[in-house]
Chain A
Amino acid sequence: MNILNILSEIEKVDEDIYDRLSPRRRIMKDFYNAGRKISLAALPLALSSMFTKAYGQSGNRSVNDVLNFALTLEYLEFHFYNHTVVGKDPASSVKDVTFNFPSAAALQAITTIRDHEKAHVDFLKAVLGSAARPELAYTNFDFRAGGTYNANNSYNSGGTFADVYTNYATFLKVATAFEDTGVRAYKGQAGFLKGNQVVLTAALQIHAVEARHASHLRQMAAGAGLTIKPWITYTANGNDTGVAPADAVYAGEQNTTQATVPITNIAAGVTQAAAAESFDEPLATANVVTIANLFLKPAFRL
């Protein structure tokens, strides 16, 4: 295989190939430098990554776009947990959370998670400064996903998760879906922050906290009767929670090939389940928006 011939063939049909590969020529420089040492065995991966980058991604997002997107998700998570910890919309006198936490530990765990989401909101707002998106209040959300509300923003009826505040198990299902969505969402934005020491590092740090939350919530959900592990295991459609309305949250998690390398049976004992569990999957912006919009009232959708 002669890489230079391949590039020159592509150039015949796409004269912008070198710019596509890297507007700043960085990748080509890296490639030529690395080419002296990269073995033929390693080349397929190097090549596939290079072309994925060149052709796989359309458009770009500014750092502020990414951070405001993250801020929206953090508002969503914060208000969701805060509502259950407080027992009601803090601005309302009506207590509408009727389930009881089964233990002090369970309430404490949700409080810990709530506090982290608040810290993320405050941190992202501080980083964005005047570029921060408008604040989102609890009443801007519809955590029952499709419920109806009266003029005073009090819940009437309906929604995919109509019993989210009356049934502890439903609450845990939605919470688990939120955390797993958060983990996927940050991963999906990482590429836009490539090379940015401050912002990418902070995003990765938040991302890992969301993953810790997801792991714990999955344990709590298991305790409440779901057959679920701290890590996302293989199922045909990626959704290992058994909560059908959450299918979109997990679509793609069934993937067991990473950067062209098949993971199943990569070593003795690495089953399809282990292969899917060992790598979490990113989620593209548009898919995250679709999920988030289910929980935002129409006027506030992304």
Chain B
Amino acid sequence: MKSEQANLTTAGSGKEGYNRRKFLSALGLGTAGAAVLSSCGHNDWYDQFRDGNKNGGATLDFKDDIGILNYAYALEQLEAAFYTEVVAKSSSVFSASQNAFFNDIKLHEIAHREFFKKALGSNAIGNLEVDFSSVNFSSKDSVLATAKAFEDLGVAAYNGAGYKIMTEAYLVIAGQIVSVEARHAAWIRDQISNGSFSDLNSLTALGADNSKGLDAALPPSKVLPIAATYIKTKIDVKNVF
């Protein structure tokens, strides 16, 4: 089986977009490196880094369901950590009812995280170290924008990985979680602008198609670089799609 590996750690730069150049940037590469690599095939440029960083970190091997569940576990860790910070630091900028719902969302994400941890048992990756230095938890706008990004990305991630899940029970579980993430996304979007709950045109970059009424869907090769902005732990990726 082909082995691919990448260091998805960012250099603490700002938010990453979804294109290839920014992906490479998220991988910690300079522009020059990106230029050289742009001629490489998809697997090749992963291979460039397969021996680049093996000390510590977590490995996501997408060869089977365990890898995909760990991928979900990684994203849920990120979300749970984010909302834990929001509940701890941002209550003064939100109304009582908003705070109550943020607390609900925090608990949902913690429940998801702990579910994956228990379900995976000793196959679970370790705890990821997060980096929310780009978020201003005293700013309503910053918190809401980040929450929106996380929820929409979560929806895209589950939708984009679902077809790779070979165990039916896990596929249904993924469906049970993604609709809750979509409920979150809709509520958060409505806090930013009432009525934007399912503005699919704004989700085109995440794979949505408004003309067909289709929500976001992205493969992990596109989700991880975006998520990596908020993750300090090095993540090795194998067999990514």
A residues neighboring B (CB under 8 Å):
26-27, 30, 33-34, 37-39, 41-42, 45, 48-50, 52-53, 57, 105, 108-109, 112-113, 115-120, 122-123, 183, 186-187, 190-191, 194-197, 200-202, 204-216, 219, 229-231, 258-259, 261, 263, 266-267, 269-271, 274-275, 277-282
Of B9-17, B111-119, B222-230, the one with at least 4 CB within 8 A of chain A: B111-119
| Distance, CA A277 to CA B216, complexed state (A) | 22
Interface of A: prevailing SS: helix
| Distance, CA A113 to CA B210, complexed state (A) | 12
Interface of B: prevailing SS: helix
Q: How many residues does chain B have at the interface if contact means C-beta atoms less than 8 Å apart?
A: 65
Chain A min CB distance to B153 (Å): 12
Q: Is the CB of A49 within 8 A of B197?
A: no
Q: Is the CB of B195 within 8 A of A117?
A: no
Closest to A37 in B: B123
Given A52-B169, A53-B168, A266-B114, A278 and B107 touching (CB < 8 A)? yes
Q: Is the CB of A212 within 8 A of B185?
A: yes
Q: Is the CB of A278 within 8 A of B180?
A: yes
Chain A min CB distance to B102 (Å): 12
Chain A neighbourhood of B66, CB < 8 A: 34, 37-38
| Distance, CA A37 to CA B124, complexed state (A) | 12
Given A123-B213, A211-B186, A212-B197, A270 and B175 touching (CB < 8 A)? no
Q: Is the CB of A41 within 8 A of B179?
A: no
Q: Which residue from A115, A194, A206, A215 sits with its C-beta under 8 Å from B215?
A: A206
Q: Is the CB of A42 within 8 A of B182?
A: no
16 new A-B contacts at CB < 8 Å, known A196-B163, A259-B119, A274-B111:
A116-B198, A120-B212, A187-B179, A191-B172, A205-B216, A208-B181, A209-B215, A212-B215, A216-B190, A229-B101, A231-B104, A258-B176, A261-B119, A267-B113, A274-B107, A278-B177
Of B136-144, B154-162, B232-240, the one with at least 4 CB within 8 A of chain A: B154-162
B122 at interface, CB cutoff 8 A: yes
B39 at interface, CB cutoff 8 A: no
> What 4 A-B pairs have minimum CB-CB distances, sorted nearest first?
A119-B213, A41-B121, A42-B121, A211-B182
Q: Which residue from A122, A195, A206 sits with its C-beta under 8 Å from B163?
A: A195
Q: Is the CB of A209 within 8 A of B198?
A: yes
| Distance, CA A264 to CA B182, complexed state (A) | 22
Given A42-B122, A53-B168, A263 and B182 touching (CB < 8 A)? no
8 Å CB interface, B160-174 against A? 160, 162-163, 165-173
Chain B min CB distance to A179 (Å): 10
Closest to A104 in B: B195
Chain B neighbourhood of A270, CB < 8 A: 107, 110-111, 114
Closest to A45 in B: B119
Chain A min CB distance to B167 (Å): 5
Given A204-B175, A208-B182, A231-B180, A266 and B64 touching (CB < 8 A)? no
Q: Is the CB of A280 within 8 A of B159?
A: no
Chain A min CB distance to B162 (Å): 5
| Distance, CA A280 to CA B108, complexed state (A) | 11
B192 at interface, CB cutoff 8 A: no
Chain B min CB distance to A279 (Å): 4
Chain A neighbourhood of B160, CB < 8 A: 201
Chain A neighbourhood of B68, CB < 8 A: none
B34 at interface, CB cutoff 8 A: no
Given A190-B175, A278-B111, A49 and B104 touching (CB < 8 A)? no
Q: Is the CB of A39 within 8 A of B168?
A: no
Chain B neighbourhood of A216, CB < 8 A: 186, 190, 197-198
- Interchain Cβ contacts under 8 Å between A and B, 27 examples: A33-B64, A38-B66, A45-B119, A52-B169, A53-B168, A120-B212, A183-B179, A194-B163, A201-B159, A201-B163, A205-B207, A208-B215, A211-B186, A212-B185, A212-B197, A215-B182, A215-B183, A216-B198, A258-B115, A258-B173, A259-B119, A259-B170, A259-B173, A263-B111, A270-B110, A271-B107, A278-B108
| Distance, CA A266 to CA B117, complexed state (A) | 10
Given A26-B166, A119-B213, A207-B178, A191 and B171 touching (CB < 8 A)? yes
